A and B are shown apart, each in its own frame.
Chain A
């Protein structure tokens, strides 16, 4: 990074606050992203992730606090601070009446010029080279998303910021985008990635911050979060759920047991579930279904962001 000193965090936010009327979009957030981190910023919609990223890019000004990149405050020197930062906030946007290549050419000029060959290179990386001369209005959502990554890579950034890069993509698009991010991670880039999918962050990131209503609910290595997560929420359906509920309640390591309509919901780790299933069979119960709709990390995520039982809604589970 330009002006970066050894050991200095790439991104450093201190007391960062942005309010809109009575709503605190970002509320006194302290956060550090180290060089080489693949940093996940997690939170449900409206948690403040995008507002944080817009402040990082200098698109909106914080009400108080400061955010700096490599020691250079974004305000009042966004150009100097962001010299080697690239990425996009929410869905990337381009001029629909121009081709993908023409869009990248114009953006390259705004970066002070670049080799034409570089445009072809980044279009190859995101698999858009064959569609380079099609107008952006003819691109699918996933293609625009990938063009956003190409536009970011064109700057040869040291820090890549991606705001919910798989949002709105179909399963194939999600797979392609995740593969692309994995390859970028391998290049040693520092990446700040926001998402509301715990699985995505768990798969890619080394550090994670979880935001809830503008505040940080967790900030630390993903390994620590996994250790904290422990038990996942399980859904159980047996031949007699009333008997099964009693078995579960008396079983060591099983917590938060409740009969929820046609199924039993409880929290337990893998080893406990294994022992419990044997016990249920031993009690003469047939097991129709026993599964974890969310991972342990997701359960913790829902607890941290919703302050509830950790049981996701069907919609969240599907996500």
Chain B
């Protein structure tokens, strides 16, 4: 142990200590997320995947005709982000939401670090909302980055031929086409936030990182299985996977926004209920572990 007297040179505190808010926690959480090797690896794989996909498609004769926009993969580069979107809405987006958000609370239980952060100048409320915001920004950011990567991959590998709408009309303007692709990707964000909120709720309730990731994915799969059933249609409309597909109406001719608007309400309900439960439980819990 050093014999320096730095401990004795305590800086006099002339003002009351600043309390860190949710914004500060947000910054700290983002740094922690980016500091994790697994986050960086998964993000890299997801960003590279669309490039590999379109290069493989271009080197084979068959096209995935059973997938919406699959038949246009060689016709226009704008079809690439659309096929990635169709595929991702089925299982990848819930998985991404669970991967990032399902761990953000329970990892503190896992490392025993709640006591480390909650004994600093930060309130539980700030910790909760800082973590929620960081998880949502990271999830949304990653999804938007995948969309951008898929769009660039399509444009580079295939070209910027006119976009084709869901109603099979050509969109000659490249700027308009980029806008429509962006619109469709942005329209999945509300249900994505809903899935992320469920993941955070499970993360708070179970205090277990594995369950925090697995349970939301299982919920997403159960929802998806119901989507394939010829059961009550109205129940299907109340599932989070439904608004994931609302972009099809926005890109149709003529376009219709009702599925998207109803999806906003459904997503908001899931988000509000999941985050309310998570907040109440998080705020009241005793930190006995670690």
Binding site for B on A (CB under 8 A): 2, 54, 57-61, 78-79, 82-98, 102, 106-107, 109-113, 118, 121-122, 124-127, 129, 151, 153, 155-156, 176, 179-180, 183-184, 186-187
Contact = CB atoms under 8 A, between A and B. Distances in A.
B2 A84 contact: no
A121 B2 contact: no
A119 to B, nearest CB: 11
Pairs of residues from A and B, 9 with the lowest C-beta to C-beta distance, nearest first: A112-B18, A60-B286, A110-B120, A93-B112, A59-B287, A176-B1, A121-B6, A83-B17, A125-B7
B16 interface: yes
Given A95-B111, A102-B35, A54 B117 contact: no
A187 B10 contact: yes
B6 A59 contact: no
Interface stretch (B24-32, B61-69, B267-275): B24-32
A90 B288 CA distance: 10
Interface of B: 1-2, 4-11, 13, 16-20, 24-25, 27-28, 31-32, 35-37, 111-123, 286-288, 290
A54 B286 CA distance: 9
A97 B37 contact: yes
A109 B28 contact: yes
A107 B9 contact: no
B286 A83 contact: no
A54 B288 contact: yes
Nearest to B16: A2
B290 to A, nearest CB: 5
10 contacts: A54-B115, A57-B115, A57-B119, A60-B286, A79-B123, A92-B116, A94-B116, A110-B117, A124-B2, A179-B1
Contact of B25 (A94, A110, A121): A110
Nearest to B4: A124
Contacts of B25: 110
A84 B7 contact: no
Contact of B1 (A92, A95, A127): A127
A124 B6 contact: yes
A125 B117 contact: no
A88 B290 CA distance: 11
Contacts of B17: 2, 83-84, 111-112, 155
Q: Could you say which of A2, A91, A121 has the most chain B C-beta atoms within 10 Å of its C-beta?
A: A121
Contacts of A176: 1
Nearest to B10: A156
Given A59-B119, A110-B121, A153-B7, 11 more contacts: A59-B286, A59-B287, A79-B122, A83-B17, A106-B28, A121-B9, A129-B2, A151-B116, A180-B1, A184-B7, A187-B10
Contacts of A2: 16-17
